[in-house]
């Protein structure tokens, strides 16, 4: 038996039909239909989802019909389709060519984020004569699955089931796509944010911010450019303090992250820009235009100064930032190290706080008074961590103190040693060490002891005077997860080498990396939820970005013959977890092209 659609007075109906063989008067055999059950008008049962009739027929074959009234007519034996096709020697299909199918999940997420419609709409409003959306899709798919140069990413077009760029195209239009991304960055970030708030429950009560940098293997830094009006445009790739200790030009990148660990936006700055100098400009360029409700800015000690604090307060926002103990005034250090007023939690953690008034310099150069809470705490966990990180250098100092004249000093040790040298032990004219046997006299061991005394201690400053101290501390600790974002961008997404050189293309490239990272975080969040955990309450990723990338590359499909397709590797453990998390059911069967299309359209991204 099978389900048949027919029309009556132009209205589509459904009925259950059975084929019967019979013998004609002339002795020949033929087939005729026997009408078993009149189901009713199609409109009565159509659920409005794509390919209802195909899904209804499949459900009837499985014995679990979408229309319950058909259940008595289902066979007790599950229907299993048998495949018959032929291949001959020399047929091109004798050679397998698996194609990536995992991009359909990425595309569905991009559709839900409004990115596909965004690019389609702007293409209609601009003069771009090429497939702008197609090139953008390739940039994102390639960055997640197989990061490479821009031209090589375009060359991956045929690696996907059904090429992304279907007409003849010019490879270098990929750079025009980067121009578009740069020009429309603010609109793009705004669209992403709206979609994440409306469909993915983004919350921005807390906004985390940190800065990293990327080095460029070029001979000379970018020069500043004098414009016609006399103003100066700074070069982007400048010498600065590389996070990877490379003596090469770098570009600074600031990243904002929401409470769920999903990126909000990025900004680029010349490599010689200090971290705290990026804060206000990043807020003005990327966060202020989003018109978010009041948020608390969370940043590390490199972000804190009075100017940044006053800007956040004047914008009716708050902050929680760490502050360097080493650069703190002597009387404040005494308060931090004084055991009085500390509240102990067990034997491994203590904290205290106080309200202070500070006079700070505003962005316009004027001064104002701000009130903030200072929270100091000590953690044995952090103490042990700092001891372990400094163990080799501390051991070196001990051995040097015991036997200075016979101890060889490495280059790296000599650089760290400068921090603890007494100024009066160096010749003022030549800077030379007069007598190496008296090196012991040059080291300021009081300074060494003060340095060691800070181990395990932290101080935070916050505008949130009523927030409990422990909540301030816990909130700040969430900032450590932004480092995972940087590691994913630099590692799994291969943000560098850039293989682009203009400031516009460098920033556009980093925006595509940010979007790719956003998609990975949404996949990870879905996996965490599927496992029964709350991604809002704990920093978990379900699967690492590396494992997601590997699993997605295994999700391929290949054409066999007679229009049949076979999926590969869907029993892989990590891939199955991803499929299950998104409720994607891929049965052990061969598929037709129409079924592959239905599989994609049936993927639900938001629940």
The residue-averaged pLDDT of 391-411 equals: 70
Q: Are strands 296-299 and 206-215 parallel, antiparallel or unpaired?
A: parallel
Check pLDDT > 80 for residue 206: yes
Q: Parse the chain into domains and list their residue ranges.
A: 2-73, 99-183+508-607, 203-225+232-371+461-490, 383-405+412-453
* Residue 551 host element (H or E): helix 545-554
pLDDT at site 538: 45
Share of the chain above pLDDT 90, in %: 63
Query: Distance between CA atoms of 92 and 104, rounded to whole angstroms?
Result: 26
Q: What is the average pLDDT score of the chain?
A: 89
Check pLDDT > 90 for residue 127: no
Residue 456 backbone class (left: φ over 0; alpha: ψ -120 to 50; beta: rest): left
The residue-averaged pLDDT of 272-288 equals: 96
| 8-state DSSP, 184 | T
pLDDT at site 537: 47
DSSP bridge pairs for 160: 100
pLDDT-wise least confident of 440-444, 463-467, 493-497, 507-511: 440-444
The residue-averaged pLDDT of 503-510 equals: 96
pLDDT, tens only, 349-386: 999 999 999 999 999 999 999 999 999 999 999 999 98
pLDDT-wise least confident of 31-45, 187-201, 302-316, 330-344: 31-45
Contacts of 354 (CB under 8 A, 6+ apart): 335, 373, 374
pLDDT-wise least confident of 80-89, 328-337, 493-502: 80-89
Q: Does domain 203-225+232-371+461-490 have CATH number 3.40.50.2000?
A: no
Look-up of token digits 């990043």? 282
* pTM for this predicted structure: 0.82
* Residue 254 host element (H or E): strand 250-257
pLDDT, tens only, 570-579: 999 999 999 9
DSSP bridge pairs for 213: 252
Q: Are strands 296-299 and 318-322 parallel, antiparallel or unpaired?
A: parallel
Q: Are strands 457-462 and 318-322 parallel, antiparallel or unpaired?
A: antiparallel
Distances in Å between the alpha carbon of 387 and those of 374, 491, 607? 25, 28, 47
Instruction: Say if residues 485 and 257 touch (Cβ distance below 8 Å).
Output: yes
Three-state SS across 34-45? EEEEEEEEHHHH
Query: Distance between CA atoms of 15 and 481, rounded to whole angstroms?
Result: 58
Check pLDDT > 80 for residue 607: no
Helix ranges (DSSP H) in 200-296 = 279-282
pLDDT-wise least confident of 58-67, 219-228, 525-534, 538-547: 538-547
Look-up of token digits 């032990």? 425
DSSP helix/strand/coil, 236: coil
For residue 379 the two structure tokens come to 């953690």
Instruction: Say if residues 270 and 214 touch (Cβ distance below 8 Å).
Output: no
């Amino acid at each position: 038996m099978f389900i048949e659609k027919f029309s009556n007075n132009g209205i589509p109906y459904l009925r259950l039909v059975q084929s019967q063989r019979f013998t004609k008067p002339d002795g020949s055999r033929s087939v005729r239909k026997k009408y078993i059950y009149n189901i009713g008008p199609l409109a009565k049962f159509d659920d409005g989802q794509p390919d209802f009739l195909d899904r209804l027929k499949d459900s009837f074959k499985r014995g679990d019909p979408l229309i319950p009234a058909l259940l008595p007519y289902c066979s007790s034996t599950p229907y299993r389709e048998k495949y018959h096709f032929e291949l001959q020697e020399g047929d091109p299909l004798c050679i397998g060519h698996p194609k990536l199918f995992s991009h359909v999940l990425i595309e569905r997420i991009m559709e839900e984020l409004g990115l596909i419609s965004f690019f389609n709409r702007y293409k209609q409003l601009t003069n771009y004569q090429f497939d702008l959306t197609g090139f953008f899709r390739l940039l994102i798919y390639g960055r997640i699955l197989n990061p490479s140069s821009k031209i090589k990413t375009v060359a991956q077009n045929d690696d996907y089931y059904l090429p992304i760029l279907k007409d003849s195209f010019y490879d270098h239009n990929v750079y025009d796509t980067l121009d578009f991304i740069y020009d429309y960055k603010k609109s793009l970030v705004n669209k992403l944010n709206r979609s994440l708030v409306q469909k993915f429950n983004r919350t921005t009560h807390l906004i985390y911010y940190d800065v990293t940098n990327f080095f460029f293997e070029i001979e000379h830094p970018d020069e500043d450019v004098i414009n016609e009006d006399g103003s100066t445009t700074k070069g982007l790739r400048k010498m600065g303090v590389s996070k990877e200790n490379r003596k090469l030009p770098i570009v600074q990148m600031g990243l904002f992250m929401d409470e769920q660990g999903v990126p909000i936006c990025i900004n680029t700055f010349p490599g010689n820009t200090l971290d705290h100098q990026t804060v206000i400009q990043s807020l003005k360029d990327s966060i202020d235009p989003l018109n978010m409700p009041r948020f608390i800015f969370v940043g590390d000690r490199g972000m804190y100064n009075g100017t940044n604090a006053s800007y956040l307060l004047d914008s009716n926002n708050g902050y929680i930032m760490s502050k360097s103990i080493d650069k703190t005034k002597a009387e404040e250090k005494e308060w931090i190290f004084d055991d009085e007023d500390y509240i102990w939690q067990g034997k491994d953690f203590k904290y205290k706080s106080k309200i202070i008034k500070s006079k700070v310099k505003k962005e316009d150069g004027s001064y104002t008074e701000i009130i903030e809470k200072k929270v100091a705490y000590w953690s044995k966990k952090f103490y042990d961590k700092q001891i372990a990180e400094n163990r080799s250098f501390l051991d070196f100092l001990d051995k040097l103190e015991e036997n200075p004249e016979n101890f060889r000093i490495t280059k790296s040790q000599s650089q760290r040693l400068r921090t603890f040298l007494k100024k009066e032990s160096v010749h003022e004219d030549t800077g030379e060490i007069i007598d190496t046997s008296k090196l012991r006299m040059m080291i300021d061991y009081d300074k060494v002891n003060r340095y060691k005394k800070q181990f395990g201690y932290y101080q935070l400053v916050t505008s949130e005077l009523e927030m409990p101290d422990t909540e301030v501390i816990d909130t700040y600790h969430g900032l450590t997860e932004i480092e995972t974002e940087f590691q994913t961008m630099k590692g799994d997404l291969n943000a560098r080498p850039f293989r682009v050189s203009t400031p516009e293309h460098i920033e556009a490239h980093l925006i595509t990396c940010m979007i790719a990272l956003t998609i990975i975080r949404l996949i990870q969040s879905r996996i965490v939820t599927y496992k029964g955990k709350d991604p809002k309450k704990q920093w978990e990723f379900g699967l690492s970005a590396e494992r997601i990338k590997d699993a997605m590359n295994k999700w391929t499909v290949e054409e066999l013959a007679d229009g049949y397709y076979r999926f590969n590797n869907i029993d892989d453990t990590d891939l199955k977890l991803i499929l299950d998390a998104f409720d994607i059911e891929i049965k052990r069967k061969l598929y037709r092209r129409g079924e592959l299309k239905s599989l994609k359209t049936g993927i639900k991204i938001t629940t």
